[in-house]
Chain A
Amino acid sequence: EVQLVESGGGLVQPGGSLRLSCVVSGFTFSSYSMDWVRQAPGKGLEWVSYISSSSSTIYYADSVKGRFTISRDNAKNSLYLQMNSLRDEDTAVYYCARDYGTVVGVFDPWGQGTLVTVSS
Chain B
Amino acid sequence: DIQMTQSPSSLSASVGDRVTITCQASQDISNYLNWYQQKPGKAPKLLIYDASNLESGVPSRFSGSGSGTDFTFTISSLQPEDIATYFCQQYDNLPITFGQGTRLEIK
Residues on A lying within 8 angstroms of B by beta carbon are 44-47, 59, 61-62, 95, 100-101, 103-113
Contact = CB atoms under 8 A, between A and B. Distances in A.
Given A104-B91, A106-B91, A47 B100 contact: no
B90 to A, nearest CB: 8
Contact of A105 (B55, B96, B101): B96
Which secondary structure characterizes the binding site on chain B?
A: loop
Interface string B41-80: 0111110010000010000000000000000000000000
B7 interface: no
Interface in B11-45: 32, 34, 36, 42-45
Interface residues of B, number: 22
A61 B93 CA distance: 12
A73 to B, nearest CB: 23
Given A45-B89, A59-B94, A104-B91, A110 B44 contact: yes
